[in-house]
Amino acid sequence: MTLRIPPGTPVLTAQAMRDAEQACFDKGVAQGELMERAGAAVAQAALRFAMDRSILVLAGPGNNGGDAYVAARLLAERGHDVTVAALGGKRDGAAEEMRQRWTGNTVPLEQAEPRAVLIDGLFGTGMSRPIEGAVKAALHRLVAAAQFSLAIDLPSGLDTDSGGDMGAARVDVTVALGSLKPAHLLGYGLERCGHVLLADIGIPISPEVVKLARPRLTPPAPDAHKYSRGMVVVVEGEMPGASRLAARAALHGGAGYVLLAGTGSADAGPDALVHARVDDAKALHDLLDDARVGAVVIGPGLGRSEAARAKLEAVLAAPHPTVFDGDALTLLGEGATQCFAKRDAVSILTPHAGEFARMFGKNGRGKIERTRDAAADCGAVIVHKGPDTVIGGLTQLTVANAGTAWLSTAGTGDILAGLVGARLAVEGRCGVCHAVWLHGRAAELAGAAFAADRLIRHIPQAIEECL
């Protein structure tokens, strides 16, 4: 059982999990054997928390319920007072076998009395529709009354692939079986799963999606100079505070030279920031005619005027890897896909949910699929921001959970854009994921109720942890 989810842990959709399980069966592993391993992992986790308290195990009609019966049997064998609250009668295959092997106390779900410890094995990856009526009422009543609750694989009532809510109750601990699922990291799942533990039940996994890992960064080469370290141009906008935050984040994110292209006024520090006067799109075009530029950042505080649009056009036409954020994305709106598909240079887009919807529309699919498809259509890397950031367009889709909910404050997005620019200039496209990790870690280090300015100070400390 893994207590801390290790870096690069695979994240599998419900279908990918079923495929992985099937591959296991094809190699001769019996379904009952996997279910025994799953139930044993759940029992092991429950033992840690149950102490000598009585346990109620909710067992649903599918394989999640099969795992529940195994866990109930193993916990009873260890001397615990266990009752199963069952939903449905006869089952199929291994789940039915496990039901029959359970000889202890069983009551219908709706008539169950609360116990101190609750194990939720009603539904897992097979949730096909919202939980309703008496089943939902019983689930919520029993979870709320328990002193400690643990979900098998997923809290019942979570959509596996999107983390959408289909009637789930929040549990204290979730034991993910075989692999993480998107719902452990996305949407409502972030709150409903409680603390997530990962149980390896011996299913070989080849991941399409991974959980963001702490990067390994290298310090500058001995012969490095300010341009070889990575030169970043941040385009100043009509709200200069936002672009200054981005520029300062780029400076603290490891870039060798950061140039703020705008009013040219250096009255707001730090002094290491180079200010260039750029009055219009023509001047910006001329400034970008410089092969030393490693990355451009445009969007934070850019504004939405015609002058802003002209600057955006100049950046789009330049050959440099570029981070497009905030107003740059809003200005492009529905035209974004076409615009980026035409662009040869590396484009990194950092939309939040609203900007993403304005560019790519809204539909019922999950965040992972929508990000993956938009990145493919654009030929760009997309950092789809939120408490559950999804990064698409690199070799592997990556999901990152915000280091802390305190990140939800004005200016932190501008800082991320600058940091992505820095890591892009220093390391190329792989630096995008590194920037997202550093941003989350800096937030953890910044503690409670920080203002965005203070977040920047912690970026070097986060980098140091990766050297």
Decide if residue 152 touches K ion (CB under 5 A): yes
Find the distance separating the first CA and the last CA of the chain, reported in whole Å. 28
Contact partner at residue 125 from ligand NPW, K ion, none, CB < 5 to 8 Å by partner kind: ligand NPW
Residue 178 has what DSSP assignment? S
Nearer to ligand NPW, 31 or 409 (CB): 31
Residue 175 as a binder of K ion (CB under 5 A): the answer is no
In whole angstroms, the minimum distance from the beta carbon of 300 to ligand NPW comes to: 42
If contact means CB under 5 to 8 A according to the sort of partner, which of K ion, ligand NPW, none does residue 440 touch? none
Kindly state whether residue 123 participates in binding ligand NPW, applying the rule CB under 6 A.
yes
Pick out residues in 372-391 that bind ligand NPW (CB under 6 A). none
Distances from the Cα of 188 to the Cαs of 59, 183, 192, in angstroms?
23, 8, 6
Say whether 458 counts as a known binding-site residue.
Answer: no
The CB-side HSE value for 281 (13 A sphere, CA atoms) comes to 15
Please give the angle made by the CA atoms of 259, 262 and 266, to the nearest 5 degrees. 70
Say whether 242 counts as a known binding-site residue.
yes
Task: Establish whether 326 is an annotated binding residue.
Answer: no
User: By C-alpha distance, which of 147, 188, 186 is closest to 53?
Assistant: 147
Sheet containing 293-298, strands listed edge to edge, beginning at the edge strand earlier in sequence: 10-11, 209-211, 397-401, 388-392, 381-384, 347-349, 322-324, 293-298, 231-235, 257-262, 274-277
Q: Shortest gap between Cβ of 40 and ligand NPW (angstroms)?
A: 11
Compute the half-sphere exposure of residue 217: CA atoms within 13 Å on the CB side of its CA. 26
The 107-146 site mask, x for binding K ion (CB under 5 A), equals -------------x---x----------------------
Q: Binding to ligand NPW (CB under 6 A): which residues in 9-68?
A: 21, 31, 34-35, 38, 60-67
| Strand 347-349, strand 173-177: pairing | unpaired
On whether 128 is known to bind a ligand per the annotation, the reply is yes
Q: Which of ligand NPW, K ion, none does residue 180 bind (CB under 5 to 8 Å by kind)?
A: none
* d(C-alpha 297, C-alpha 325), whole Å: 8
Question: Of the two residues 7 and 130, which places its CB atom closer to ligand NPW in the complex?
Answer: 130
Residue 270 preceded by cis peptide, ω within 30: yes
Is 386 annotated in a binding site? The answer is: yes
Least Cβ distance, residue 131 to K ion (angstroms): 11
The response to whether 413 counts as a known ligand-binding position is yes
* Residue 382 binding partner per list K ion, ligand NPW, none, with a CB distance cut-off of 5 to 8 Å that depends on partner kind: none
Cα dihedral: 202, 203, 209, 213 (round 10): 10
348 contacts K ion (rule: CB under 5 A): no
CB atoms closer than 10 angstroms to residue 266: 12
Report whether 105 belongs to an annotated binding site: no
Query: Least distance in Å: CB of 369 to ligand NPW?
Result: 20
Tell me the closest approach of the beta carbon of residue 121 to ligand NPW, in angstroms. 7
* Closest to ligand NPW by CB, 201 or 462: 201
Q: Which of 86, 102, 120, 124 binds ligand NPW (CB under 6 A)?
A: 124
**Eight-class DSSP state of 109:** G
Separation CA 202–CA 193 (nearest Å): 23
Q: Residue 443 carries which side chain, given as an amino acid letter?
A: A
Our finding on whether 182 is near ligand NPW (CB under 6 A) is no
- From ligand NPW, K ion, none, interface partner of 120 (C-beta below 5 to 8 A by class): K ion
Question: Judged by CB, which is closer to K ion: 121, or 418?
Answer: 121
Nearer to K ion, 166 or 261 (CB): 166
Helical packing angle, 353-360 and 367-378, nearest 10°: 50
**82 scored as a contact of K ion (CB under 5 A):** no
Whether 212 and 435 have beta carbons less than 8 Å apart is answered as: no
Q: Which is nearer to ligand NPW, 154 or 422 (CB)?
A: 154
| 194 marked among binding-site residues | no
Among the candidate windows 120-128, 269-277, 312-320, 411-419, which touches ligand NPW by CB under 6 A?
Answer: 120-128
Residue 328 corresponds to which tokens in the numbers above? Answer: 């740059």
- Find out whether 399 and 368 touch, Cβ atoms under 8 Å: yes
Cα separations in angstroms, 429 against 142, 321, 392, 394: 48, 9, 12, 8
Nearer to ligand NPW, 173 or 402 (CB): 173
Judge whether 71 and 46 are in contact, CB under 8 Å: yes
Interacting residue with ligand NPW among 28, 79, 90, 128 (CB under 6 A): 128
CA-wise closest residue to 139 among 155, 152, 128: 155
Find out whether 67 and 152 touch, Cβ atoms under 8 Å: yes
CA distance 394 to 424: 13
By C-beta, is 38 or 57 nearer to ligand NPW?
38
Q: How many CA atoms lie within 13 A of 210 on its CB side?
A: 14
Q: Report the nearest approach of K ion to the CB of residue 74 (Å).
A: 17
185 residue type, one letter: L
Binding residue numbers: 63-67, 120, 124-130, 153, 156, 242, 301, 352, 385-389, 413-414
Q: Which residues bind ligand NPW (CB under 6 A)?
A: 21, 31, 34-35, 38, 60-67, 123-131, 135, 152-153, 177
Q: Which residues are annotated as a binding site for K(+)?
A: 64, 120, 156
Residue numbers belonging to the annotated binding site for AMP: 385-389, 413
Q: Which residues bind K ion (CB under 5 A)?
A: 120, 124, 151-152, 156
